[in-house]
Amino acid sequence: MCGIFFSLGSSEPILPNKETCNLLRNRGPDNFQVHQVAQNAKSSTAGLVAVHLTFVSTVLSMRGDHVVSQPLVDAATQSVLCWNGDAWKIAGNPIQGNDTELIFKLFLEAVQPRPGQTDSQDAVCRLQDVISSVSGPFAFVFYDAVNSRVFFSRDCLGRRSLLQGVDENGNFKLCSLCDSSSATHLEEVGSDGVYMIDFTRTVLETPELSDSDVCFNIDSIQILPWGSASTGQLRNPIPPMNKTIPEGPPPPLTTDSVCITTLEQKLLQALSLRVENVREPPMMKPEDNAKIAVLFSGGLDCTLLARLCHEILPSNAAIDLLNVAFENPRVAAAAVAAAKGKAPAPGSVYENCPDRMTGRSALAELQKVCPDRQWRFVAIDVPYAETVAHRETVKRLMRPHNTEMDLSISCALYFASRGQGTVLDHADTTPVPYTSPARVLLSGLGADELFAGYGRHGVAFSRSGFEGLVEEIDLDVSRLGKRNLGRDNRVIAHWGREARFPYLDEEFVSWVVQLPVWERCGFGMPDTETDTSTALDCEKRALRLVAQRLGMPQVAREKKRAIQFGARTAKMEKGRVKGTDSLD
């Protein structure tokens, strides 16, 4: 995980302010570096004008055997790369060692002129081919000094944050996050392609109120969209959704169905890329021994990842399960009112949180099926006063998102990813303070979209059958990069940790979307269970069957619950607020 800042100053170099620098350092505590370049650019009225390019990178070093400082600068051409990503594969081949250096090498080779080349557009095509070959999440800024261009992008699923905008002085900025002074003019870079600023074309204009100064024209940015061509164009790794409709009731799914056994193997492969060869966190104590942690509610998606981690990691490696619960004053007041003088319900306000209860239940099942693994359940209890104390920081990190729901979800992710809570001692009697050293956090995000896990999927099927269900799933998958991944990245990375999403691995997503819908969920399918107490829900039935195969029948039956309700971050002060309401 890295932090990126880039600016195009029309009259002077533009550096990030102190607050932005601090936030970027939180994302990448291992390295901070600034690089500046002068570049001529065309103006609509003033001819060629010298502009100032500023590149700032911070680094959270996760791969290879040494820290690679950024921005990377090519001594021969003065080209520059700021890379925030994890390239798991290039052209289908797994990468060993540091990915940033390899990506920069391939970018430089792509933009070099070739014998007989007369049009630098050929370099753009070659660069698109390189980007298309990358499998993994990324956001980057690349300055091609050879052809006087800047390229920037997020991957097609939008798993890394990158914001763009023109400030009040006409300077163009890109940044991994907002600070308090930039919330009004920054918006998320789309995940619909690679964006290009070509300095051989007009990129500056003269403002109406000035005769001499120039500012950046954001309309001069060109987009190279994701497409389906084989060469010379960005190739979207995610194929179109399989919209086949069954003729009559589909065949029932069982734990031995080919699609279920294959699903388990595909998910295992996606997870392996994300948990193997992780560098040991700095200052990790031998007794801690946890490189990997799971954002853990006890629900189906995250518990399945934890269970599969057991199949991959060495037997002596601990796995931290980060389970967050909040003191919600509105819920507490309602409980007191409902008691009407009776004795309060047993357990603390945190232990009575829905996600804490399912988390402990799922832990017990993991311990039963994998008794030799050290499962470290980190109980993260957040008093209301602490929520209030951190609220402005959370709001700043989630910007430009600005609704009540954004805040509820972001608060849960913010405190969970901090990893600071308590664990039980060896006697399993006394909670002791503990902060997870793990820099890799696994998230189950993406499972609901791919396997029809939301309530609206059932509604769509009830209204319009399989046609409506497929359309709803297709909509969810298509807008993954436009919705919440950038926000979640900004919030989680604040603690110098990196969230990884196995369900959003490109190869895994590609395989899932090509399955017929009835091999992903159980809608329209006759139940094979005779005992209704053990019947599996239709939502995400394929994943539920994998959980059963892996010895977790209780987890296989867990209901879907949104994080803001499970952790009780929603509606803390007033109950009538809507999730879509904008914050004051």
Q: Which residues are catalytic?
A: 2
Whole-angstrom CA distances from 127 to 101, 228, 556 are: 16, 16, 44
* Per-residue DSSP letter, 4: E
Q: How far apart are CA 382 and CA 306, in angstroms?
A: 24
Residue 92 corresponds to which tokens in the numbers above?
């289908």
Asked whether 306 and 277 are in contact (CB, 8 A), the reply is no
State the Cα torsion 406-411-413-417 to the nearest 10°. Answer: 150
Whole-angstrom CA distances from 144 to 80, 105, 150, 222, 538 are: 7, 12, 6, 15, 50
Q: How far apart are CA 466 and CA 198, in angstroms?
A: 46
Q: How far apart are CA 239 and CA 511, in angstroms?
A: 9
Place of tokens 């600070």: 179
User: 431 phi and psi, to 5 degrees?
Assistant: -70, 135
Q: Which 3-state string (H, E, C) describes 155-222?
A: CCCCCCCCEEEECCCCCEEEECCCCCCCCCCCEECCCCEEEEEECCCEEEECCCCCCCCCEECHHHCE
Q: How far apart are CA 102 and CA 113, in angstroms?
A: 19
Q: Which of 328, 416, 326 is nearest to 377 (CA)?
A: 416
Q: How far apart are CA 330 and CA 338, in angstroms?
A: 12
b/e for 302-330, b at 16 or more Cβ within 10 A? Answer: bbbbbbbbbeebeeebbbbbbbbbbbbee
Residue 555 corresponds to which tokens in the numbers above?
């987890």
| 3-state class (DSSP) for residue 302 | helix
DSSP H helical ranges for 250-402: 258-275, 300-312, 329-339, 354-369, 384-398
Q: Which of 582, 482, 440 is nearest to 61 (CA)?
A: 440
State the Cα torsion 334-453-177-195 to the nearest 10°. Answer: -160
Q: Count of alpha carbons within 13 Å of 345, Cβ hemisphere only?
A: 16
Q: Count of alpha carbons within 13 Å of 549, Cβ hemisphere only?
A: 21
Name the strand (E) or helix (H) holding 122.
helix 121-132
User: 192 phi and psi, to 5 degrees?
Assistant: -100, 5
